[in-house]
Amino acid sequence: MENSEDKDSTATDELDFLPAAGKRPGIWELALPSILGNLSYTVVGMVQTKFIADLGAEGLAAVGAGQRIFFAMQAILMAVSAGTTALVARAWGAGDYREASRVTMASLVLGGVIALFIAVLGIVFATPVASVFGLDQVTLEMASLNIRWLSAFNVVFAAMFILSAALRASGDAWTPLWMSVGVNIMNIPLLYAFIYGRWGMPEMGVAGASIAAGISFSIGVGVLMLMWIKQKFRVKHVASGWWRRARLKQLLDIGYPAALEQGVFQIGFFIFLMLIGNYYGTEAFAAYNIGVNLLAVCMTVGFGFSIAGSTLVGQHLGANDYAGATRSGWLALLFAIISMGSLGLLVIIFAQELATYFLGDAELTIAYTVQFIYILGASMPLMAVEFTIGGALRGAGDTRFPLRATIVGLIVMRCGLAFLAVYLALPVVYVYAALVGDYLVKGAMLLWRFERGKWKTVIRTEDLNLTRG
């Protein structure tokens, strides 16, 4: 029998929880809007990179360091997001649309509390944490200010993150697309205004990029929350019935390995970037940041197929369709390899031209950037495995194994090989090349796990207290 904490109020019962219409969405139906939405963020990121490049290598390094630290601080939110995706998709696949809505509400409350705590830490400890990269004093001050402003808007970022995850898990990838497009359309003129001090705005430099993002996201989240409260989405707003200890425990049980994975991921990145910044200088550090931004379009495609795979795997498992779940994972991988590999090759071909466009006549930074693009671009098929198969496992609630793969691939292989290159005083290109070892090992481990099929029964649908539609 359901816990008394989970009984709905009359108002909740009266809501029109409509069943999903027709068959489940296809891979491309979920992947395409996710790709386009994240592509809009990538375009804004490239515009931001171009604006910040006018401030010199120091500005680029400050943004790269600031964003890396901010992403590390947000890693714990992955616990909530991973749990949201897995549980909403399961509930939707089982036809329990009320439970999908209750999970969404519980996730938002939990995520908001966590995000607020993280924001306080980011504001208070920005400078000490940013100092680990070995940046010069000017760059350190810019990076610290960037972190503080990003932290100030952390709750807003979390709300957009979690609600979008819930909508995608229900099969609605188009609403997050329109929200992301709207947010990014607003972001570009705000970037110009706050970075350069145009249209009566103060000239904020690197910090202006964070402020612009925070304002545009605040407006976007305001619109999204208003529409959700007014019951405009397939995942409904519920004011009661969402509080149940077992539900929150499920969210955290599924999610905490994903949070640990992201924590390990960010620690590994810290170590990797510390080696580059401390032993090879600001130019090599900036080149890494630029290269990642230039290849972000490839990663955007991978992320889209990851969302599609995780959603469909979760929904098929909710319906006890194990064959459909397996088929969705493999199909997402096939599309990701073809798409990411093709785009990676294209960026490699035009690496010199792209680096020159963003960096002008900074010859050393251009040379480092081109080297990094060659390595990362060639690694795209391997990254496709990490995105799609890792996403499929998380959609099934199997979040512990991707954590293990990340520890072995990133910490042992990438950081180990990078340390070896530094110890042997090899050129920075050998440090960049450590990425290949990381993705190769990680991809092999994830494929082995998916092929064995243990992920199908990590979470049993009958243990989730669902009411089948």
Name the DSSP letter for residue 350.
T
Between CA 275 and CA 296 the distance in angstroms is 22
pLDDT at 419: 92
pLDDT at 414: 92
CA 88 from centroid of its chain's CA atoms: 18
Between CA 241 and CA 7 the distance in angstroms is 5
Contacts of 366 (CB under 8 A, 6+ apart): 352, 355, 356, 359
Q: What share of the chain is helix, strand, coil (3-state, %, to 5)?
A: 80, 0, 20
Q: Strand ranges (DSSP E) for 41-188?
A: none
Contact 144, 206 (CB under 8 A): no
pLDDT at 437: 92
Name the DSSP letter for residue 6.
G
Structure tokens at 245: 């200890």
**Tell me, what amino acid is at 408?**
V
Between CA 174 and CA 217 the distance in angstroms is 17
Contact 310, 395 (CB under 8 A): yes
Structure tokens at 449: 């796990």
Between CA 453 and CA 151 the distance in angstroms is 40
The radius of gyration of the chain from alpha carbons, rounded to an integer in Å, stands at 22
Buried b (16+ CB within 10 A) or exposed e, 360-388: eebeebbbbbbbbbbbbbbbbbbbbbbbb
pLDDT at 329: 93
pLDDT at 121: 86
Structure tokens at 39: 């592509």
pLDDT at 413: 93
Distances from the Cα of 300 to the Cα of 189, 206, 276, angstroms: 23, 24, 25
In three-state secondary structure terms, 14 is: coil
Between CA 82 and CA 398 the distance in angstroms is 10
In three-state secondary structure terms, 193 is: helix
Question: Which contacts of 161-164 are long-range, i.e. CB under 8 A and separated by 24 or more positions?
Answer: 161/77, 161/81, 161/111, 162/77, 162/80, 162/81, 162/84, 162/104, 162/107, 162/108, 162/111, 163/104, 163/108, 163/224, 163/225, 163/228
User: What is the mean pLDDT of each successive set of 10 residues along the chain, which is 469 residues long?
Assistant: 43 48 71 86 78 76 75 72 87 87 90 88 83 74 84 88 90 88 89 83 80 90 90 82 80 83 81 84 80 78 89 89 92 93 89 80 82 88 92 90 93 92 90 92 95 86 59
Burial of 76 (0-12, 13-18, 19+ CB in 10 A): buried
Q: Strand ranges (DSSP E) for 58-201?
A: none
